[in-house]
Structure 1
Amino acid sequence: MLNDTRPEPIRSPLLEEAASEGIAHGFFTRAGGVSDGLYRGLNVGLGSGDARAAVEENRRRVAREMGVAEDALLTLHQCHSADAVEVKAPFPAVRPKADAMVTNKPGLALGVLAADCGPVLFADPEARVIGAAHAGWQGALSGIIEATIEAMERLGARRQGIAAALGPSISRDNYEVGPEFVARFVEADPSNEAYFRASSTKGSREGHAFFDLNLYTVDRLTRAGVRAHMLGLCTYADEERFFSYRRATHRGETDYGRQISAIVLEND
Structure 2
Amino acid sequence: MTASPTHRPVRMVFTTRAGGASASPYESFNLAHHVGDDPTAVDANRARLADSLGLTPGALVWMEQLHTNTVTVVDSAQSDPVEATDALVTTTPGLALAVLVADCVPLLLADQANGVVAAVHAGRMGARNGIVPATVAKMVELGAQPSGIQAVMGAAAAGRNYEVPQEMADDVERRLPGSRTRTSQGTWGIDVRAGLIRQLMSLGITAIESDPRCTIEDDDFFSYRRQGTTGRQAGVVWLNSEV
TM-score of the two chains, using structure 1 as the length reference: 0.84
**Residue of structure 2 equivalent to 1:177:** 164
4+ aligned runs moved over 6 Å, structure 1: none
Segments of 5+ residues of structure 1 without an aligned counterpart are: 1-8, 202-207, 250-254
Q: CA distance change for structure 1 residues 64 and 182 in 2, over 3 Å: closer, same or farther? A: same
More helix by share: 1
**Residue of structure 2 equivalent to 1:218:** 197
Contact 2:47-2:57 at 8 Å conserved across structures: yes
SS at match of 1:174: coil
**Largest Rg, 1 or 2:** 1
Distance in 1 (CA, whole Å) between partners of 2:181 and 2:132 is 20
**Residue of structure 1 equivalent to 2:51:** 64
Q: CA distance change for structure 1 residues 187 and 265 in 2, over 3 Å: closer, same or farther? A: closer
Contact 1:119-1:168 at 8 Å conserved across structures: yes
SS at match of 1:219: helix
Instruction: State the 1:130 CA deviation.
Output: 0.7
Q: CA distance change for structure 1 residues 218 and 188 in 2, over 3 Å: closer, same or farther? A: closer
Contact 1:22-1:265 at 8 Å conserved across structures: yes
Contact 1:248-1:256 at 8 Å conserved across structures: yes
> Is 1:80 equivalent to 2:67 in the alignment?
yes
Distance in 1 (CA, whole Å) between partners of 2:47 and 2:55 is 9
Contact 2:133-2:203 at 8 Å conserved across structures: yes
CA deviations on 1:42-70 (whole Å, 9 max, x unpaired) are 10011011100000010111111222211
Letter in 1 for 2:180: Y
**Residue of structure 1 equivalent to 2:130:** 143
Instruction: State the 1:172 CA deviation.
Output: 1.2
Instruction: Give % identity.
Output: 34
SS at match of 1:172: coil
> Is 1:257 equivalent to 2:242 in the alignment?
no
Aligned residues: 241
Q: CA distance change for structure 1 residues 100 and 80 in 2, over 3 Å: closer, same or farther? A: same
Letter in 2 for 1:48: V
Residue among 138, 141, 144 paired with 1:157: 144
Q: CA distance change for structure 1 residues 198 and 22 in 2, over 3 Å: closer, same or farther? A: closer
Contact 1:26-1:262 at 8 Å conserved across structures: yes
> Is 1:247 equivalent to 2:226 in the alignment?
yes
Instruction: State the 1:91 CA deviation.
Output: 2.1
Contact 1:29-1:259 at 8 Å conserved across structures: yes
**Residue of structure 2 equivalent to 1:228:** 208
SS at match of 1:173: coil
Distance in 2 (CA, whole Å) between partners of 1:45 and 1:94 is 11
Distance in 2 (CA, whole Å) between partners of 1:173 and 1:186 is 16
Q: CA distance change for structure 1 residues 92 and 33 in 2, over 3 Å: closer, same or farther? A: closer
Residue among 7, 10, 17 paired with 2:2: 10
Q: CA distance change for structure 1 residues 35 and 228 in 2, over 3 Å: closer, same or farther? A: same
Contact 1:25-1:66 at 8 Å conserved across structures: no
Contact 1:167-1:230 at 8 Å conserved across structures: yes
> Is 1:31 equivalent to 2:14 in the alignment?
no
> Is 1:43 equivalent to 2:30 in the alignment?
yes
Q: CA distance change for structure 1 residues 105 and 75 in 2, over 3 Å: closer, same or farther? A: same
Contact 1:176-1:199 at 8 Å conserved across structures: no
Distance in 2 (CA, whole Å) between partners of 1:73 and 1:229 is 23
Instruction: State the 1:218 CA deviation.
Output: 1.6
